[in-house]
Amino acid sequence: MAKRLFIKTYGCQMNVYDSARMADVLAPLGYAPACEAAAADMVILNTCHIREKAAEKVFSELGRLRRLKAARARRGGAMIVAVAGCVAQAEGAEILRRAPFVDMVFGPQAYHRLPEMVARATRAGSGVLETDFAPEPKFDSLPEAAAPQGISAFLTVQEGCDKFCTFCVVPSPRGAEYSRPAGEVLAEARRLVAAGAREITLLGQNVNAYHGRSPEGGGAWGLGRLIRALAGCEGLVRIRYTTSHPLDMDEELISAHGEVPALMPFLHLPVQSGSNRVLAAMNRRHTVDEYRRVVARLRAARPDIALSSDLIVGYPGETEAEFRATLALVGEVGFAQAYSFKFSPRPGTPAAAMAGQVPEAVKEERLAELQALLRAQQTAFNRACVGRTLPVLFERAGRHPGQLVGRSPYLQAVHARVPEARRAELLGTVAELSIRSALPNSLSGALVAGGAAAGAEIERASA
């Protein structure tokens, strides 16, 4: 009888990719996806440790799972509960101590050993802990066969981080930088495309620090080189990558933005702060000016490139003037979208122990002001798209009947009504859409099919 697996994913896209690969590892054991935890024989929480809130969620979710597991046991059934990901790596045995009903705790570098862990957990009746480190054996022993990820797929090419920003926990759960060999990446990309992917987003904690072994042997490829090779993969129409560090934007990668049509004109390039003093205290290893120069080179290579960022307010010692410098930089660069966070002291990081912790109320105020500015920029960027024709890759059906949803080159979600008869044929293809209206988080458009007249007709038919 088929067993049911439910994976709840927190955190970044790398966790999303890892969750898909865990499902691939468990499929040969007979696990098929469940639609909710209550119906599952195994529940995996794939966790994130980045901010306090993210880590707290895990323990409240575990409380709920304890009750589900007990209810199942009363009906004579069993449920394996596992904690994976960055909280598992960071807290390890502490999770088994606080939540003894948990069967398995394993870090991001151990999930290829899931079958063996499941066997041990079932036999032993006590918690299994796997927090080993090397990423290489993981990628080597993941199954080739993968469940299709859909039209837009993730592909992890790089893991870990050697940067050690003073606020960040990532280097601890994810380990040192590791790049997968280019040949392995290209082979996985071809498999994803064969399974229906038309867009691939290359992932890494510092994806642009990629330096994977070249397929011919001898030397390493940077990310720009890898992207140029991927662009030759037949059937792949769009390439993206995330997350990048400003320091690792080299010439080959920047020029790829001007030369590789499949490389989308959107880049998430976290700056964190607009103050040189704060950037230095964060150990970001770049100045505000260096960030400006990278942006200028990107815009020279690809004038319409849309930028996104991560920003932190209330870093220890951040003064009002330093916060204003962040607002000024945001105003100057102009982001199409961005994420912003209150500094969250994380266990074991240098910033958590620094003097000058900023009061919560001040962080709240600064965040609200920054987010108002970012929202205004995002709205302005979306509004500026109204009236333009944009190529949209249709990814899925929308919430309303007759609707398809896709993404613009700039990663905006775009909704369109399309005639019933054309829906199946349009999914997974890039269609020209005339953008009609903009909401803060999405656009809506109408098909332009081979010329204005046909376009108008289709619009009427779908109105």
Question: Where do the H-state alpha helices sit in 108-250?
Answer: 114-124, 135-141, 171-174, 182-194, 223-230
Q: Does 312 bind ligand SAH (CB under 6 A)?
A: yes
Q: Does 11 bind ligand F3S (CB under 6 A)?
A: yes
Count of residues engaged in binding ligand SAH, rule: CB under 6 A: 17
Q: Does 168 bind ligand SAH (CB under 6 A)?
A: yes
Q: Which residues make Cβ contacts (< 8 Å) with residue 107, sequence separation at least 6?
A: 84, 85, 86, 88, 89, 92, 130, 131, 132, 133, 173
The CA-atom distances, in angstroms, between 137 and each of 24, 134, 190, 262, 369 are: 16, 7, 22, 31, 46
Q: Among residues 45, 88, 170, 306, which is the contact residue for ligand SAH, using CB under 6 A?
A: 170
Q: Among residues 4, 5, 7, 12, which is the contact residue for ligand F3S, using CB under 6 A?
A: 12
Q: Does 85 bind ligand F3S (CB under 6 A)?
A: yes
Question: By C-alpha distance, which of 286, 361, 272 is closest to 323?
Answer: 272
Residues 361-390 that bind ligand SF4 (CB under 6 A): none
* 462 φ/ψ angles, rounded to the nearest 5 degrees: -100, -5
Residues 186-205 that bind ligand SF4 (CB under 6 A): 205
- Considering only 85-93, 213-221, 326-334, 342-350, which stretch makes contact with ligand SAH by CB under 6 A? 342-350
Question: By C-alpha distance, which of 186, 219, 214 is closest to 200?
Answer: 186
Instruction: Give CA–CA dist 123/120, Å, rounded.
Output: 5
Residues 196-215 that bind ligand F3S (CB under 6 A): 205
CB of 324 to ligand F3S, least distance (A): 28
Q: With respect to ligand SF4, which residue has the nearer C-beta, 4 or 163?
A: 163
Q: Does 174 bind ligand F3S (CB under 6 A)?
A: yes
List, in sequence order, every residue forming a beta bridge with 200; answer none if it has no partner.
153, 239
On the 0-12 / 13-18 / 19+ scale of CB atoms within 10 A, 145 is exposed
Find which of ligand SAH, ligand SF4, ligand F3S, none residue 346 binds, CB within 5 to 8 Å per kind: ligand SAH
Count of residues engaged in binding ligand F3S, rule: CB under 6 A: 14
Distance of CA 371 to the CA centre of its chain: 21
Residues 46-65 that bind ligand F3S (CB under 6 A): 48-50
Binding site for ligand F3S (CB under 6 A): 11-12, 14-15, 48-50, 85-86, 169-170, 173-174, 205
